[in-house]
């Protein structure tokens, strides 16, 4: 057994089903380096580390000054009622910490916890299914139009007494027919630490509902983060998403969406920023399983110094999914010869009447554009900053909601300044 799994299993609390989930993972172990889904992201060093059980830690409220209500805050995976602000939840929106529901007696409220994971290549989803006891449970009534964004905040906080700790968050989002909701996920750092965060989010978007989501990841430079998002879209449902991967030492996000209803649509954009020795891995799993569904993706990757960015965009068009329109673009900039970028777009089609485009590029800053800016009197560093910023900001400009766009612009500008100076 690895030191990692051994230390995480020591904190087990749960029923027989969860115990079986954990025992299965302990028997299988972590994926080997030759596993296809993990060949660009080695777990060898992580496997040798140990983590304690996370406990509540005090955090300076000023850290959240720019994040408005309503917000639900977790510190090292523990719900923080003092930092959260749910006093003005709009009608039609029900939001509760998972820990409160676990204390209740209505099993229907927690049916999503019954989902199990069996594949060897999804170890952190299996860990989450076995160990998660906190998260956000969000439900929006049919026809409810929730205008103000809902903020889910995860703060990784240094804890000298506990050392390196791990937490597992399980979120559930349900939008009923015709509902509208915007969620902004924030990953923040309070002090220097090397904790492990593991989050799993399920979302069900009903007929004609619209979910908009942004994830701004600015975790501590030595942190490790694993995230998985599984979304199912019903008939005419919509899902718009933006991801900014700007922090942590090792981060991996598996984003899986199944367009299950006719006319469903999904737009997902993101920026992967791998500077220093950071390793950033994002995997998209797109399933078109109904008529006349659409998906559109614009992802940008940057790698500098000894950073490593990994992107996998897999599109699967099922038999009978006629009328599918899928478009995936992944462009990447190498800012140093010592950096690395691996990109892997894949397309599998089992239907006839479809339109599908996917492509990926890896290159460097355009020397002609760089020369033009320098000929106009700009120093080389400033010229590089302008070109790099323009390359990434296409993602942010596609965000419709002005408050969300402003938060993303601020986070992205700060990260780009760090990389280009």
The full set of domain ranges for the chain reads: 3-261, 366-421
64: left (phi over 0), alpha (psi -120 to 50) or beta: alpha
Average pLDDT over residues 79-89: 93
Q: 236 near 207, Cβ under 8 Å?
A: yes
Pairwise CA distance, residues 32 & 44, whole Å? 9
Instruction: Please say if the pLDDT value at position 337 is more than 80.
Output: yes
Q: Could you report the per-residue pLDDT of 294-326, keeping only the tens digit for each?
A: 999 999 999 999 999 999 999 999 999 999 999
Q: How far apart are alpha carbons 311 and 303 in whole angstroms?
A: 12
Taking all residues of the chain, what is their mean pLDDT, rounded to a whole number?
92
The predicted-structure confidence for 197-230, as pLDDT tens digits, reads as follows 999 999 999 999 999 999 999 999 999 999 999 9
| Tens digit of each residue's pLDDT (9 = 90 or more) over 224-271 | 999 999 999 999 999 999 999 999 999 999 999 999 999 999 999 999
What's the confidence (pLDDT) of residue 10?
86
Polymer length of the chain: 421
Question: Rounded to whole angstroms, how far apart are CA atoms 284 and 302?
Answer: 18
Q: Is the peptide bond before 406 cis (omega within 30 degrees of 0)?
A: no
145 beta partners: 180
């Amino acid at each position: 057994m690895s030191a990692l799994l051994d230390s995480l299993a020591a904190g087990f609390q749960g029923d027989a089903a969860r115990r079986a989930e954990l025992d299965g993972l302990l028997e299988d172990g972590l994926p080997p380096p030759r596993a296809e889904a993990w060949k660009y992201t080695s777990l060898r060093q992580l496997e040798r580390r140990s983590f304690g059980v996370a406990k509540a830690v005090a955090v300076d409220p000023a850290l959240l000054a720019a994040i408005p209500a309503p917000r639900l805050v977790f510190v090292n995976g523990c719900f923080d009622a003092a930092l959260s602000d749910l006093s003005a939840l709009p009608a039609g929106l029900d939001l509760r910490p998972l820990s409160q529901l676990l204390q209740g007696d209505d099993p229907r409220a927690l049916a999503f916890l019954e989902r199990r994971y069996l594949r060897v290549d999804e170890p952190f989803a299996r860990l989450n299914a076995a160990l998660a006891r906190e998260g956000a449970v969000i439900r929006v009534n049919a026809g409810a139009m929730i205008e103000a964004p809902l903020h889910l905040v995860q703060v990784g906080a240094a804890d000298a007494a506990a050392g390196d700790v791990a937490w597992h968050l399980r979120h559930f989002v349900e939008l009923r027919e015709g509902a509208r909701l915007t969620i902004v996920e924030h990953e923040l750092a309070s002090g220097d630490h090397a904790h492990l965060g593991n989050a799993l989010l399920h979302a069900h978007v009903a007929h004609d509902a619209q979910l908009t989501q942004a994830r701004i990841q600015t975790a501590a430079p030595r942190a490790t983060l694993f995230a998985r998002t599984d979304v199912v879209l019903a008939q005419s449902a919509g899902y718009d998403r933006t991801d900014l991967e700007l922090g942590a030492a090792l981060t991996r996000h598996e984003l899986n969406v199944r367009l299950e209803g006719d006319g469903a649509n999904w737009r997902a954009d993101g920026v992967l920023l791998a500077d220093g020795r950071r390793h950033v891995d994002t995997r998209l799993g797109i399933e078109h399983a109904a008529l006349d569904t659409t998906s559109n993706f614009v992802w940008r990757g940057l790698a500098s110094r000894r950073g490593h960015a990994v992107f996998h965009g897999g599109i699967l068009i099922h038999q009978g999914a006629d009328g599918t329109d899928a478009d995936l673009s992944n462009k990447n900039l190498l800012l140093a010869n010592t950096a690395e970028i691996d990109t892997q777009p894949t397309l599998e089609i089992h239907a006839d009447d479809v339109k599908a485009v996917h492509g990926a590029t890896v290159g460097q800053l355009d020397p002609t554009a760089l020369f033009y800016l320098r000929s106009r009197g700009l120093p080389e560093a400033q010229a590089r900053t302008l070109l790099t910023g323009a390359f990434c900001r296409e993602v942010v400009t596609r965000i419709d909601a002005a408050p969300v766009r402003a938060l993303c612009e601020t986070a992205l500008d700060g990260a780009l300044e760090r990389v280009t100076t």
